């Protein structure tokens, strides 16, 4: 019902996004989209390109008078750096066919595997699309999905909990602590709520920059206010945790995803893993722990949906690793492209976008409706069902 796709290369004219299936009548705020794009460009450890690009969205179709029409929404984000690549990234015959040609693939990047798959002698044809620049368009789409989710009281957040080998305790806000969480995260250059630990992380990033290294890390994502019942156990491809994990794994450099306390739970006995259920007349059904991350049996259970995402170091190093020059067939150092030292804070923003997409998709499947009013009526009816039949008062 809800589909999103993107197109564009890192140094091409720009990026294009198309969202199909949004309900008619949803108010779209371009200022909020641009604010999300700005968040993605921030974060200590970003590279020189962030000094060139100032991403803003241009909505091309599907919106009139500030609201969605029900038809596909398309939008464009210009690449300002494209003017520096004239003659190299042209659609027509190239004026400088061999300029900035890539024949020394970077270990850890799609360069070599993609060139083999698509039979490209110049690996720039691969890296331009495999580049994390593509995540700008995901961030814009995610801002739109967030605007839909807010209509149903669902809030998406992220926080960085590790840079390199340095970790800190996650805040893991609930609705009542969101204000405090935002205050702390807003003061951080990394998106970490432990401001004391952040100083050590910044020093680690500075050291990596001086050494020509790159750093990965871990961030957590949460979706607060999700009702029970999203996703399904009836088929493997409809399980909500599987769908969300796939979306998060699609982000460049992401190598592992946990739902809830996934890795920790594997080492504990069941009595210390599963979230016990309680009941009283005031709260209805409730729990005091959320180790499952808000999903049981592939279905949301009403708790905050929580994901923990692990990002490897970016494969472009200013101290390049050993590679092979495929034009000369001899060992040489890998290509060096302009890159970040650490992009974990930016990846966390992209993670929010992908989580928002997955939750919005599942919500629309459950509620149906071609326009926002229909969805809201169906949601209201579902809430009454939860409260009457299941004594569910936590929404």
User: Using one digit for the tens of pLDDT, what is the confidence trace for 58-100?
Assistant: 999 999 999 999 999 999 999 999 988 988 998 888 876 577 8
Q: 375: number of CA atoms within 13 Å, CB side?
A: 24
Q: What is the rounded CA–CA span in Å between residue 42 and residue 371?
A: 35
Domain count, the chain: 1
Q: Does residue 253 come out as left (phi exceeding 0), alpha (psi in the -120 to 50 range) or beta?
A: left
Residue 14 placed within a domain:
yes
- pTM > 0.85: yes or no: yes
Q: What is the rounded CA–CA span in Å between residue 193 and residue 186?
A: 8
How many of the other CB atoms lie within 10 Å of CB of 183? 10
DSSP secondary structure, 114-159, as one string: HHHHHT-SSTHHHHHHHSGGGHHHHHHHHHHHHHHHHTTT-EEEEE
CA torsion angle 160 165 166 172 (round to 10):
40
CA 242 from centroid of its chain's CA atoms: 15
Q: Does residue 391 come out as left (phi exceeding 0), alpha (psi in the -120 to 50 range) or beta?
A: left
The length of the chain, given as a count of residues:
395
What's the CATH number where 188 sits? 3.60.150.10
Residue 274 placed within a domain:
yes
Domain membership of residue 16 as a residue range: 3-390
DSSP secondary structure, 194-231, as one string: -HHHHHHHHHHHHHHHHTT--B-EEEEEEEETPPTT-B
Predicted local distance difference test score (pLDDT) of residue 388: 86
- Collapsing DSSP states into helix, strand and coil, what is residue 181? helix
- Confirm if 246 and 328 have CB atoms less than 8 A apart: no
Predicted local distance difference test score (pLDDT) of residue 395: 53
Q: What is the pLDDT along the chain (395 residues), one digit of tens a residue?
A: 899 999 999 999 999 999 999 999 999 999 999 999 999 999 998 876 566 668 999 999 999 999 999 999 999 999 999 988 988 998 888 876 577 899 999 999 999 999 999 999 999 999 999 999 999 999 999 999 999 999 999 999 999 999 999 999 999 999 999 999 999 999 999 999 999 999 999 999 999 999 999 999 999 999 999 999 999 999 999 999 999 999 999 999 999 999 999 999 999 999 999 999 999 888 888 899 999 999 999 999 999 999 999 999 998 888 899 999 999 999 999 988 877 899 999 999 999 999 999 999 999 999 998 999 999 999 999 999 998 888 876 55
Q: What is the rounded CA–CA span in Å between residue 173 and residue 213?
A: 33
Q: What is the rounded CA–CA span in Å between residue 237 and residue 298?
A: 10
Residue 395 placed within a domain:
no
């Amino acid at each position: 019902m809800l589909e999103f796709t993107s197109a564009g290369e890192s140094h091409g004219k720009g990026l294009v996004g198309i969202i199909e299936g949004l309900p008619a009548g949803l108010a779209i705020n371009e200022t909020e989209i641009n604010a999300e794009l700005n968040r993605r460009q921030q974060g200590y450890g970003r590279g020189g390109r962030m000094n060139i690009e100032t991403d803003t969205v241009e909505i091309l179709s599907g919106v009139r008078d500030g609201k969605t029409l029900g038809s596909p929404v398309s939008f464009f984000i210009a690449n300002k750096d494209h003017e520096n690549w004239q003659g190299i990234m042209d659609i027509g015959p190239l004026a400088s066919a061999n300029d900035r040609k890539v024949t020394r693939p970077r270990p850890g990047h799609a360069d070599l595997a993609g060139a083999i798959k698509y039979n490209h002698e110049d690996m720039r044809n691969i890296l331009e699309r495999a580049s994390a620049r593509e995540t700008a368009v995901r961030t814009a789409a995610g801002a739109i999905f967030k605007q839909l989710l807010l209509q149903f009281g669902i809030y998406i957040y992220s926080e960085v909990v590790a840079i390199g080998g340095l970790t800190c305790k996650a805040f893991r806000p609930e609705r009542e602590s969101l204000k405090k969480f935002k205050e702390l995260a807003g003061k951080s250059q990394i998106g970490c709520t432990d401001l004391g630990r952040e100083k050590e992380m910044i020093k680690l990033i500075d050291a990596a920059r001086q050494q020509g290294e790159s750093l990965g890390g871990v961030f957590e994502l949460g979706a607060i206010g999700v009702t029970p019942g999203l996703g399904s156990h009836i088929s493997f491809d409809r399980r909500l945790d599987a769908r969300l994990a796939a979306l998060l794994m699609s982000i460049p450099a992401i190598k592992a995803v946990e739902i809830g306390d996934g890795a920790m739970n594997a080492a504990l006995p069941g009595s210390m893993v599963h979230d016990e259920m309680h009941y009283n007349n005031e709260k209805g059904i409730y729990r005091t722990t959320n180790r499952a991350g808000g999903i049981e049996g592939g279905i949301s259970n009403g708790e905050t949906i929580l994901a923990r995402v692990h990002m490897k170091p970016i494969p472009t190093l200013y101290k390049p690793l050993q590679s092979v020059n495929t034009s000369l067939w001899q060992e040489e150092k890998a290509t060096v492209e302009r890159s970040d030292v650490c992009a974990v804070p930016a990846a966390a923003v992209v993670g929010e976008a992908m989580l928002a997409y997955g939750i919005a998709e599942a919500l629309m499947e459950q509620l149906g409706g071609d326009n926002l009013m229909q969805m809201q009526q169906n949601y209201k009816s579902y809430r009454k069902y939860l409260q009457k039949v299941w004594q569910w008062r936590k929404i």
